[in-house]
Amino acid sequence: MEARIAVVFHSGYGHTARQGEAVAEGAAEVANTRVDVIRLGAELADEHWELLERADAVIFGSPTYMSGASAGFRSFTEGTSKVWNDDLRWRNKIAAGFTNSGNHSGDKLQTLVEMALFAAQHGMIWVGMAHTAGGTPALARATTSTGWVAGWVRWPSPTWTRARTSPPHPQTCGPSRHWGAASPKSPTSSSAVASP
């Protein structure tokens, strides 16, 4: 049985898009897994809503702006009220999240908490990091990334702060790819479901 994962994110300057693509690449490495990437724009097309509907797991992504998720991501969450109002159609789907920001503070944890509460409101099952505080050797080598129990946080690199419009180099997203490839068993089936 194939597990279906949707990686849905808003990206203002390309950083979250690169992180989301790395998470999707890692998740796609898990056997019997299909990954759909949904980039949030002005409004989701019907086909995107259908992908989210069919997904076993949804991994949310947003940059952290001014201590919370971006307006583009919040617009998406508000747009899910019809799904919520239809007997919690996303109930028991696996949920996870990732974020980044342009500086080391900025309250990225608040963004992850916002995503977890959004998932809880839909009756989804939030999955955080499956690592001890020290992480793994692959994560430890990444000086610009860190895993929090709630999800995945991407720290800024020196190039982000100097030129915010250029996305990070693909090599700096290795931990995001590793994060997407973690594969605990889904509580609802024996298929592998990628999660942080």
Reduced to 3 states (helix: H, G, I; strand: E, B; else coil), residue 135 is coil
pLDDT for the residue numbered 28: 94
Residue 39 and residue 26: Cα distance in Å, rounded? Answer: 17
pLDDT for the residue numbered 90: 97
pLDDT for the residue numbered 177: 56
**Which residue, among 149, 126, 164, has the nearest Cα to 12 in the 3D structure?**
164
Lookup: tokens for 192: 């592998």
Burial-class residue 46 by CB neighbours within 10 Å (0-12, 13-18, 19+).
exposed
Type of residue numbered 111:
T
Q: pTM of this prediction?
A: 0.75
Lookup: tokens for 39: 């980039």
Yes or no: say if 152 and 136 are a contact pair by the CB < 8 Å rule: no
Q: What is the CATH number of domain 3-181?
A: 3.40.50.360
pLDDT for the residue numbered 1: 87
Mean pLDDT for back-to-back runs of 10 residues, the chain (196 residues): 96 93 93 96 90 97 93 96 95 95 79 95 90 55 47 52 45 53 39 33
Dihedral over alpha carbons 60, 82, 35, 130 (to 10 degrees): 40
Beta-strand relationship, 151-154 and 145-148: antiparallel
List of long-range contacts for 129-132, beta carbons under 8 Å, 24+ apart: 129/179, 129/196, 130/182, 130/184, 130/195, 130/196
Specify the residue for token string 């900025």: 106
pLDDT for the residue numbered 134: 55
CA–centroid distance for 173 within its chain: 13
Specify the residue for token string 């990206």: 11
